[in-house]
Structure 1
Amino acid sequence: MMMPVYLLVDNGSKQPDATLYLRCLAAQLSEHTGELIHPVSLQHADAIPAAELAGTPADVLQGFLRRQLEQDEREFVVLPLFFGVSRAITSFIPDEVARLKSEYPDLNVKVAPVTWPLPEGEPRLAQIVFEHIQQAREISGPDAQVVLVDHGSPTPKITEVRRNIARMLEQQHALGVEQAVMERREGKEYDFNGDLLANWLRDKAEQGLTRVIIAMLFFLPGRHAGPRGDVQEICDSVVKDYPRLNYTITPLISTHPLLLDILRDRLMATNQFVI
């Protein structure tokens, strides 16, 4: 029986840090599982100059699968570095695989569960968020208001992940957490996303709030998260108008060792689905 090729897959970014962190996480997971895990982005990362990636170009899904197929590999397991089942999983990956199956009909791709499968959730992911909040409280103080922030999605089930994590934090740790999104599409049909972070911060600053913890539901650094990312720029722009407002941003999810346990379990899950 042919052994599968394992891929740790993210959406992809044009920022080098995202690929470098993905590579680091894949290497750690390889050591954690005893299997070789390949870091692969769905798109965008192949635009990063190799010189900014220690001389090695980033892999994107279509190109990586094609090279492996040319080496007679046929079995693949995709481990999604995603909080929920987004369109990347339901549409993008199947479309990419379908294009290759026209040339390689014996191609077999399985997709492992996401980190927060609905409806059961993943208590360890909520624990990561909680520990990151506790770490931030050492800087901001114990009375800082916590706001749980994700990217924002046109898919309601992704927002449901954020809501479930906030609910679990309240139930298990008696932690009052408000919620916001970094960005969202305009229109009432996207109101399920909730408040924009910029609006939430301004409203709270108007009410006299001076200490905020931004609890990050982001895996990797890049254009949105990490130093000089969009989230930090949003916070800084509000602070310019409300200089009494102080904020602390929690670490990214990929920095916590518990994530490796979650990803290992997803990789070995029996409920992987075949594309």
Structure 2
Amino acid sequence: MPVYLLVDNGSKQPDATLYLRCLAAQLSEHTGKKIHPVSLQHSNAISAAELAGTPADVFHAFLRAQLDQGEREFVVVPLFFGVSRAITSFIPDEVSELQAEFPDFTVKVAPVIWPLPEGEPRLAQIVSDHIRQATEGSGSDNHVVLVDHGSPTPAITEVRRHIARMLEEQHAMSVGQAVMERREGKEYDFNGELLASWLAEQAGQGVDSIIVAMLFFLPGRHAGPRGDVQKICDNVVKDYPRLNYVITPLISSHPLLLDILRDRLEVAEQL
């Protein structure tokens, strides 16, 4: 029986690890398999006291501990929207380093949540549901912006573009796009407009109601209460007091995500 890992990039914020644990427990129930919540990095900086007394597991140390116990088969289910450097570089490099000491083990990595070019209609449905939930009772004049973190990898921005296109074509929504942050330089212009600039531009044109649709899985420094996205919105409101905004729930809060993760796990088992 393989050891199953639900893997995120990791965060120094306790909520991210706590929510990852919750999602892994739900996926365990959903699949009938023991799913271990494991971060690639960062989370081991959180004190155990902030994590109900149990330190976070990070990828390298977790695999080594399992290998020391005799485990040799691993299935990684990545909680990633697209194929980032975490998938193409970090995980392979960590596995190669451990294989120098344990040459007889295998790691199968499941497809990401939105594989290109085919995409994942259920993820678009999650975002659509969250937008419609946010607009209930608030009228029909809301403007929508789909926001992701921002990435130095063009394929990740392409995921956001595909989702926005599917929302417009299949869910009859007009959707703007923005990025929470991006690196300096023209080589990163593919990321698109910063959220702060997009909001200010809309508010300056007289828009007074905006839905900020979150393309984030877990709470942490960027997403969730008092996260960077909320701070960005609040700062714009200081300049445009008439602007109202609603931030949608995170992707992990929707039950359809468990179905997607289960299917990704099953694909990996057949690799």
* TM-score, normalization by structure 1: 0.97
* Deviations, residues 180-238 of structure 1 (Å, cap 9, x unaligned): 00000111111111000001111111111100000000000000000000000000000
Give the match for residue 126 of structure 1.
Answer: 124
Query: Structure 1 residues 141-150 or 224-233, which shifts more?
Result: 141-150
Across the aligned residues of Structure 1 and Structure 2, the Cα RMSD in angstroms comes to 1.0
Native 8 Å contact 2:75 2:269 kept in 1: no
Question: How many positions carry a matched residue from both structures?
Answer: 271
Give the match for residue 146 of structure 2.
Answer: 148
Give 1:142 shift.
2.3
Give 1:141 shift.
2.8
2:62 matches 1:88:
no
Give the match for residue 244 of structure 2.
Answer: 246
Q: In the aligned structure 1, how far is the partner of 2:26 from the partner of 2:35?
A: 9
Q: Which of residues 43, 46, 57 is equivalent to 2:44?
A: 46
Q: In the aligned structure 1, how far is the partner of 2:44 from the partner of 2:139?
A: 42
Give the match for residue 215 of structure 2.
Answer: 217
After superposing on structure 2, the runs of 4+ consecutive aligned residues of structure 1 that deviate more than 3 Å are 270-273
* TM-score, normalization by structure 2: 0.98
Overall identity of the aligned pairs, in %: 80
Give 1:143 shift.
1.5
In structure 2, stretches of 5+ residues that fail to align are none
Query: Structure 1 residues 263-272 or 205-214, which shifts more?
Result: 263-272
Q: Kindly tell me: are residues 139 and 183 of structure 1, through their superposed partners in 2, closer, same or farther at Cα, counting changes over 3 Å? A: farther
Q: How does 1:173-184 map to 2 (within 5 A)?
A: 173-184=171-182
Native 8 Å contact 1:113 1:272 kept in 2: no
Native 8 Å contact 2:111 2:268 kept in 1: no
Give 1:272 shift.
6.8
Native 8 Å contact 1:140 1:212 kept in 2: no
Q: In the aligned structure 2, how far is the partner of 1:234 from the partner of 1:170?
A: 25
> What amino acid does structure 2 have at the position aligned with 1:85?
V
* Deviations, residues 131-190 of structure 1 (Å, cap 9, x unaligned): 000000025432200000000011111001000000001111110000000000111111
Native 8 Å contact 1:84 1:114 kept in 2: yes
Q: In the aligned structure 1, how far is the partner of 2:93 from the partner of 2:138?
A: 45
Native 8 Å contact 1:13 1:19 kept in 2: yes
Query: Structure 1 residues 126-135 or 137-146, which shifts more?
Result: 137-146
SS at match of 1:269: helix
